[in-house]
Structure 1
Amino acid sequence: MPSSPPGAGWYRSLKSTTRSGLRVERATNQPLAALRGAMGVAIALFGALALSGPAMATSAALGAQLAGMATFQRSYRPGPWLAVATALGLSLSTFVGYLASPRPPLFLCVLALWSFGAGLAWVGGQTSGILASMTVAVMLVIVTLPATVPEAAQHAGVIAAGGLIQALLVLVWPVNRWGAHREALAEACASLADYARRLRDDPFAGFDPDPLMAAREAAAVTPGQARSRPAELTGIRSLVERLRPALAALADPRVGAAEEGPQRDRARELLRAAAEILDGAARSIRTGEVVPVPDSAYRALATPAGGPVLDGMARHTALRLIGLLAEVNDALETPADDDQPRYLPRPGVRQLLPLTARAVRLNWTWRSPVFRHAVRVASVVTLAEGIGRVVPYGHGYWAAMTAMMVMRPDFSQTYSRGVARLVGTVVGVGLASAVMVAAKPVPWVCGLLAVVAVGCAYLTIRSGYMALSTLVTVYVVFLLSMDGLVLSKTVEERVGMTLVGGLLAFAAYALWPTWQTVRLPDRLADQIAAAGRYAAATLDAFGSPSPTSRRAMRDALLDYRGARAALRAADASAATEPVRHRGLRPSQLADARSAIAAIGRTSMLIEAHAPSATSPSPGATAFAVVVREQLGRAAQAVRDGQPVHLAAVPDAFQRWEESGDGTPPEILRDASILTEAVTGLEESLN
């Protein structure tokens, strides 16, 4: 259980999250993409303004603005579909909200239900959570504009039209269409090149698997995307994933080249060549043009004039590394064969529905942080809207809209975004107010200023939430000013109700938190269990080598990487929280993570030596069963807060070693290193 939050802990956490929220990064989007998004808003806004007046223009502009915002979310799905999905969601939510708005109790019930659904949408990831939050925010604004049901239908229609305009612009004016996919794959190659260079000086250098995970996510495309995907994005990712264990195995003196002498010099030469080839691959992928590899790298891959320097398992690993590097180069110069898997299938809408339903069922419990977030959001947004209707303001919905947009499933993002929105609102209202007082622009000029503001928002969307909030505030003020909004009310209501909404969000998370700190044991247990499955899968590849066992090994590796990323994200969030877990000390968690990393690294070395076909090793199969079972029990013990006992693993290894079943000595050496890593995990947790 978490300890009582001391005052010092809250001060430290709030100070950290405040600094994070107010930070402005020097990062911008592509100017052409920002210009395209602003053009979509301009077409929707001025078209509706000319045909129907300021109120309808406001709806059209909001639909186009948020649909354009959707295309900038971190997603590898086609941009037009994100814009269309956002527009349809906005259109439906605003129309349903208007039908309920004449009856305040009914509207509050609909708002609570819609907010709960938006909070639950986080089961699908950050993109779906943010887009769902937008639908609630726009509902709160648009329901105040129409006066009749036909007008509400018209507003819903122009919102959808604004999104369709953005989608059409993305289709007819593609800007760096495959840029995100290129960057993900190129970053994976570049990170592996950096890893190879670091291995030359440190055989046990650490490796960040996040770029490989991002590359795999980017490789999942729809059949339509696969037909138009550039050749340099096909067939590289799987080779890069297989290169990592080969690099590590060659550099490790326990299973690869000797620690000193000619073998180590030869290993460094091969690692340098690998780094140069992978750097060239990264540049080729980014530019779409084949970048020639230095001749020195090719010469390094050739067998030395005096004959092979490496022997045994080190030579086997070197030959595998050379073969993989050659395949990378060939894949960049020529398209993949037709019989080679060309892409990982990305689920379409039909496939997403059952997957989403399953995710919702898994999270339909009080233990789920997403479910708790959904309940928290529904409660706070509904309360904020109720307060907004009671206070003597004409635009009290800004409190509910602020709460909806700043609340996230974790403490750090909620507080940092809340502070950023409060500051951004004050700054944005001040800037827009100064322009309005000085120039007193007519509606068409207000629309033009709104388009400029949203273009700047698109351009700086990656600069930080405070910068984005400031520009969006300027945009909304200019947009609402087209309909004769009184400036003094804008300042009073938007700043005042934003403060109310932000304070309600802060109070809700303080009174009913979902601390990542208390979930650290579960995350740690997940990684322990995943490490056990990965280690067992690599051993099974020797016990019963087959395509099935190799596929199981790759799947287990992906699970291990996912569990590792989840633990690291939870640990990073917990570091900003004002509570500490009583049962798991920070030093204990750090030692356990190091031990699990050793298990993962050793399993990777075993994978690097996995044969395509060889005589079965019954001892490896039996040892794999013990490793999987014991680490699974250790994971459950961590969840229950009980002592961890892993003595059965070294006992099982000793029986295997003494059995004399014909297992090659090199594999027994790998298994011995794995056993030492498992023993280290037991020591770190007790």
Structure 2
Amino acid sequence: MAREFPVSLTPPDWLVRNLRSHKAPVNRPAVARAAVSLALPLAIGLAVGRPAYGAVAAMGALSGVISDTAAAYRLRVLTIAVPQLFGAAGVTLGTLVNGHGWVAVATVTGVALVSGMISTIGAIASVSGLLLLLNAVIGAGLPLPGEWWLAPLLLSGGGLLVLVLALLAWPLRSGVPERAAVAGTYRAVADLLAVCGADSAVAYDDARHSATLALNEAYDLVLSHRARHHGRSPELTRLVAQLNAVTPLVEAAPAAHLSGRPLHPEVAAAIRAVADAVETGRTEPLRLRLPTPTTETARAVNHALRHAADVVTAPDVDPRGIDDRLGGPAGLGVRTARAARSAVLSAGSWRYGLRLALCIGIAQALVSLIAVPRSYWVALTITFVLKPDFGSVFSRALLRALGTVAGLVVAAAVLSEVPRGWWDVPVLLLLAPLIPALTPRGYGYQTAAITPVILLLSDVLNQQGTDLLLPRLVDSLMGCAIALIAGYLLWPESWHTRVGDRLADAVADTARYVETAFAATADPAARARMRRRLYRDLSGIRTEFQRALTEPPPTGRRAAAWWPLVVAVERIVDATTAARVRVKHGSAPPSKAEIDQVALQLRDLSQGLREVETLTPVRTDLTGPAGSVLEPLRQEVAAARAIASPQP
């Protein structure tokens, strides 16, 4: 008989979630770039008798490797080059105040405030803010070789080496990542339609979430490029048209699922054939073998699929007829400009900037008053941990500590057994590829991979060997403690889940979507953008929910209580979309009174979710004409309102 362990020995769910490895494919080109870009500068430095210069350049390459996450070549220019400019500015400021006591403390604290505020603009700005502060801390705390202007050049040169290696295949593979992203969206939609009408609601929810993520990522990738080349690139215009063409298929999925009848297997097979045509750039018409549609839902799927096939294989696309579903050809630039203004004006940006500045200020003041070897590591740890846009602060502190311990074990073997000099080059060739290979698996794995690399490079600069290990552990633990206390526990917003507020916003937006979806005068493009934003917001809520589950009680427990409502709101949006599809393909439209009643009930639910952190009772009465196209929607709204009404 299997022995049962006592309940007290079972690890808590939040800890299991934190330690769980994420499944992710290995990016082989990124692995190769990491090996070459970190080992080559050190080898050149050793060859010319300046190993310290090589180590500084390799540190710059390390930041480039961390930033090397974009798929499209043009985006890599931004994600790698722009952060390097901020990093150069940071190390210049840090070098100029190195050894100036409280002036250095004030300068680095001010840089932390700016870093935190610009980090809220977007992904590229977040990495730029990270490197700005990291390099400022390094420059202020570590005497770098050469004149004040040399370190910025070396660090930037190492980062730009990563960029050059990343762009080597651009002439041969231009546009390939974008086409692959669009094709991947079609395949995700094929997987979604394959499970429509199946008994497993979980399988449908997971497939719908995967399709939404794929569509979001493809739009972001293509529009970030097209915003700078609107109307001038036929290839990008065609990709936007192909993405727009998949929207009716996504809209038809909820209707197909709510019908309760699985679609013919040839439907998913046909969508995968369309995906192959996207990836290969085929322009010959596709011969689709589809069953004859007999219902409104089947007609919607058939019509959407044939339309997508026609758009994908069309040899030419008129750019004037293309609507970017996220807000027009310059939508990305507009969103970036708004985010930049928000970073200056919003209270959230100031709060995060002040949190980061407070923690960095405490760390810098502490190490100024107490003799701590390699004291800059304390602030470096805080900089990495206190990044809410990278995940839960609590989780990152925990994983940072565990990852540092694991990395120190490897570093101890390297520093104690490998002679200094040329032997460091093959060691870097072996250790550097682990960074891009392990980073997608989780922050703890990334920390474990980075720690021995950074310690090896630090040893080249300081020649201290294994004496670096204990200070690194102590400083990392100090940094984690400061981040947890001054940057997490003292700020109630950190340990209160935001799922409820974001759900209330989504429900209010759904009420507006219900009114727009059935309005005869509504702009189809505006309606499509509204639906896309809703699904994007719901995807973000799911991500926020998963992040909250990694927090210890009571935050994780509170987040778990919201999950039934997260699913219920997603189903409300699905039911609205399904009703719209049915009306478009033959069902009688609902009356204005019925639409207004559903919208009113949704706004009432939204207000109830805003009242307090716990769920507030709301009315559950919701009636309407039997057989109406909105009947499934009314049922989903009633179910959500029942969930939001605690039982006596």
TM-score higher than 0.5 here? Answer: yes
- Equivalents in 2 of 1:155, 1:40: separation in Å? 17
* Aligned AA (1:159): L
Partner of 1:359: 342
**CA distance 1:127–1:416, change in 2 (3 Å):** farther
Q: How does 1:82-97 map onto structure 2 within 5 Å?
A: 82-97=79-94
Of 160-169 and 68-77, more deviation after overlay is shown by 68-77
- Equivalents in 2 of 1:203, 1:290: separation in Å? 37
Shift of 1:163: 2.6
Q: Which runs of 5+ in 1 are unaligned?
A: 1-9, 254-258, 304-308, 658-667
Of 128-137 and 39-48, more deviation after overlay is shown by 39-48
Shift of 1:678: 3.2
- Equivalents in 2 of 1:448, 1:458: separation in Å? 18
Shift of 1:627: 4.3
TM-score by length of 1: 0.79
Whether contact under 8 Å (1:221, 1:346) holds in the other structure is no
Q: Any idea what SS the aligned residue of 2:342 has?
A: helix
Partner of 1:570: 544
Shift of 1:351: 5.1
Q: Is 2:268 the partner of 1:275?
A: yes
Q: How does 1:493-572 map onto structure 2 within 5 Å?
A: 493-508=471-486, 509-515=488-494, 517-540=496-519, 544-545=520-521, 548-572=522-546
**CA distance 1:679–1:441, change in 2 (3 Å):** closer
Q: Which runs of 5+ in 2 are unaligned?
A: 1-7
Q: For 2:225, which of 213, 222, 225 is the aligned residue? A: 222
Shift of 1:288: 6.0
Of 72-81 and 388-397, more deviation after overlay is shown by 72-81
* Aligned AA (1:599): I
Q: Any idea what SS the aligned residue of 2:398 has?
A: helix
Q: Is 2:300 the partner of 1:300?
A: no
Shift of 1:228: 7.9
Whether contact under 8 Å (1:384, 1:400) holds in the other structure is yes
Shift of 1:638: 2.3
Q: For 1:486, which of 440, 450, 464 is the aligned residue? A: 464
Of 228-237 and 497-506, more deviation after overlay is shown by 228-237
**CA distance 1:584–1:452, change in 2 (3 Å):** closer
Q: For 2:214, which of 207, 211, 215 is the aligned residue? A: 211
Q: How does 1:428-439 map onto structure 2 within 5 Å?
A: 428-439=407-418
Shift of 1:28: 4.8
Partner of 1:683: 642
- Equivalents in 1 of 2:285, 2:523: separation in Å? 37
Whether contact under 8 Å (1:523, 1:570) holds in the other structure is no
Q: Is 2:643 the partner of 1:640?
A: no
State the aligned residue count.
Answer: 622
Structure having the higher Rg: 1
Q: For 1:601, which of 574, 586, 609 is the aligned residue? A: 574
- Deviation per residue, 1:209-267 (Å, 9 max, x gap): 333333333332324677385798453222222113334435544xxxxx7xxxx6xxx
Q: Is 2:110 the partner of 1:113?
A: yes
- Equivalents in 2 of 1:634, 1:75: separation in Å? 42
Q: For 1:402, which of 381, 384, 393 is the aligned residue? A: 381
Whether contact under 8 Å (1:406, 1:502) holds in the other structure is yes
RMSD: 4.0
Q: How does 1:132-281 map onto structure 2 within 5 Å?
A: 132-146=129-143, 151-174=147-170, 181-202=178-199, 205-206=204-205, 207-208=208-209, 209-223=212-226, 227=233, 229=235, 233-250=239-256, 252-253=258-259, 271-281=264-274
What percent identity do the matched residue pairs reach? 20
Whether contact under 8 Å (1:115, 1:136) holds in the other structure is yes
- Deviation per residue, 1:139-158 (Å, 9 max, x gap): 2223345579x811121122
Q: For 1:341, which of 310, 322, 325 is the aligned residue? A: 322
Of 325-334 and 111-120, more deviation after overlay is shown by 325-334
TM-score by length of 2: 0.83
Whether contact under 8 Å (1:638, 1:644) holds in the other structure is no
- Equivalents in 1 of 2:525, 2:643: separation in Å? 32
- Equivalents in 1 of 2:395, 2:82: separation in Å? 28
Whether contact under 8 Å (2:418, 2:424) holds in the other structure is no
**CA distance 1:299–1:497, change in 2 (3 Å):** closer
Partner of 1:324: 304
- Equivalents in 1 of 2:501, 2:423: separation in Å? 56
* Aligned AA (1:218): L
Q: Is 2:436 the partner of 1:458?
A: yes
- Deviation per residue, 1:521-579 (Å, 9 max, x gap): 31221121021111111121xxx24xx52123212212321332233233323333334
Partner of 2:357: 378
**CA distance 1:412–1:153, change in 2 (3 Å):** closer
Shift of 1:603: 1.0
Q: Any idea what SS the aligned residue of 1:124 has?
A: coil
* Aligned AA (1:459): A
Shift of 1:600: 1.4
Whether contact under 8 Å (1:403, 1:505) holds in the other structure is yes
Whether contact under 8 Å (2:416, 2:466) holds in the other structure is no
Of 485-494 and 344-353, more deviation after overlay is shown by 344-353
- Equivalents in 1 of 2:234, 2:289: separation in Å? 36
**CA distance 1:194–1:164, change in 2 (3 Å):** closer
Shift of 1:71: 1.7
